[in-house]
Amino acid sequence: TEAAYRERTPTSERIYGELVEDIPAGVASTYRAFEPYPMIIERAEGPYLYDVDGNRYLDFDLNNGAGMVGHSHPAVTDAIRDQLDHGTLFTHPHELLGEAAREIKKRWDVADLVRFTNSGTESTMHAIRVARAYSGRDKLLKIEGAYHGVHDYVLLSKAAPEHKLGHPKRPATYVESHGVPEAIEDTVEVAPWNDLEAVEEIMSENVNEIGALIVEPIVMNVGMTQPHAEFLQGLRELCDEYQVPYIFDEVKTGVKVAPGGAAEYYDVEPDLVTMAKSIGGNYPVGAFAGREEIMRGIEHGTAHYGTYNGSPLVLRAVTTVLRDVLTDDAYDHVNDLGERLVSGYEEIMADVGLNGHVEYVNSQGTVVFANERITNYRDFARHVDVDFHENYWFEMLDRGVLPHPHDASQQWSISVQHEREHIEDHLDAFAEVAPLLAD
């Protein structure tokens, strides 16, 4: 409960009170602020986070899903330490660029060419730009409720408050932040997830206008909303028919749902792919990659620059993660643990008669305290009781388990440093919490 949380975290409360004096909302990314105050983290190791009051949390949030290698993975740390002695930033080219790019090319068939960035936001921004440059058209088509970072062109219709829900087949386009010009709305169309007909309608009404389609192949800022069978392939065919570059935003799915991300998992080939988070082993890096003829636009007037792009420091992390840490055995390990976590949740909910089910793909999943399956943002808004879910979150925290970020729309992740005993600890906590929720 919130009361128990307050009792356990007096030092966090004090330090947070100081942080808000210097930093808006006391956090480095506004998303991280929550009531009554976030816990202040002192250190992290393996599968654990430790706060300044000495509380230990078994971490299934893993930095919004970025930490598939777990905290301070020894192999990644060694590589970084070694690089510290050889220079951390060269703006001149170096061989690690090719080494890291080749690791990405091994995983994604579509990755003929690769460019590195510093975040998911930069990756989607540039992928959209090269797509628009290639198609020569200005409009972006995105999915209602989908999050692709914070640049102006994607900070639209990522949530659908009641008064803006509009027609279910034709969601309203609206900017989602003060400071984003409303004129942006004229350059973005929004479609509901899992509705091929709606997408086709938009494409046919905007022939020669849609310059790119961006989708997150599993909508992971709406729980774990999977594509219906054939939906992603259907989009592929529509993109071919209307000659629209097709972008998979694999910032969260990439290297997690399968070694080659959702493109491999669903066996659908986009034209461009964006990634960040888990490719960097908790270092700040992103990438975008795609078909040669689209990516070569960067050599002919499509801008992609950045002082910190492809620094040797983060690329040491990338090559270590992709080559040495996320091996086939590592995938077997986290996927087995994911399966155990899901079946454990299902058993416990059935035992205590708690309404709900688990949505998951391999090592990522979330409990949905509703019987209805969530197929798109609107289902989520309608069926997920965020207060109920928050209660679950605080109760789990009281038992030393951080199930996911503080938000019902998020999901658990499992790292290569989690072991079976950590999954059992998570389930033991849920076995105590479930009866409280069922009451």
Which residues are annotated as catalytic? 147, 249, 277
Q: CA-to-CA distance for 315 and 378, rounded, in angstroms?
A: 39
Q: Which is nearer to ligand PMP, 12 or 121 (CB)?
A: 121
Least distance (Å) between residue 123 CB and ligand PMP: 7
Report the interhelical angle of 74-84 vs 312-319 (nearest 10°). Answer: 150
User: Considering the complex, what minimum distance in angstroms separates the CB of residue 247 from ligand PMP?
Assistant: 11
State phi, psi for 404 to the nearest 5 degrees: -175, 175
Distance CA(194)–CA(202), nearest Å, equals 14
Q: Which stretches of the chain bind ligand PMP, using CB under 6 A?
A: 64, 119-121, 124, 147-149, 216, 220-221, 249, 251-252, 276
d(CA 338, CA 361): 8
Pick the closer one to ligand PMP by CB: 64 or 311: 64
Nearer to ligand PMP, 189 or 216 (CB): 216
**Where would I find the H helices in 285-327?**
292-295, 312-319
Q: Which is nearer to ligand PMP, 135 or 278 (CB)?
A: 278
CB of 44 to ligand PMP, least distance (A): 18
Residues 6+ apart with CB under 8 A from 78: none
Beta carbons within 8 Å of 167's beta carbon, 6+ residues apart: none
Exposure string for 312-322, b = 16+ CB within 10 A, e = fewer: bbbbbbbbbbb
| Minimum CB–partner distance for residue 9 and ligand PMP (Å) | 25
CA angle 9, 14, 16 (to 5 degrees): 90
In whole angstroms, what is the distance from residue 23 CA to residue 16 CA?
A: 10
Between 111 and 348, CB nearer to ligand PMP: 111
- Using omega within 30 degrees of 0 as the cis cutoff, is the peptide bond preceding 36 cis? yes
The smaller minimum CB distance to ligand PMP, of residues 34 and 388, is found at: 34
Q: Measure the CA–CA gap between 213 and 274, rounded to whole angstroms.
A: 13
Task: Please name which of 368, 371, 361 lies closest in space to residue 386, comparing C-alpha atoms.
Answer: 368
Q: Which two tokens stand for residue 51?
A: 């706060």
Smaller CB separation from ligand PMP, 191 or 433: 191
> Which residue's structure tokens are 């990439």?
254
Structure tokens at 326: 């996320």
**Smallest distance, ligand PMP to C-beta of residue 10, A:** 31
Report the alpha-carbon distance of residue 374 to residue 413 in Å, rounded: 19
In the complex, minimum distance from the CB of residue 170 to ligand PMP, in angstroms, rounded to a whole number: 23
Q: How far is the CB of 126 from ligand PMP (least distance, A)?
A: 12
Query: Which single residue brings its beta carbon nearest to ligand PMP?
Result: 120
Among residues 274, 254, 278, 252, the alpha carbon closest in space to that of 116 is found at 274
* Token pair of 342 as six digits: 């899901």
Contact between 389 and 366 (Cβ < 8 Å)? no
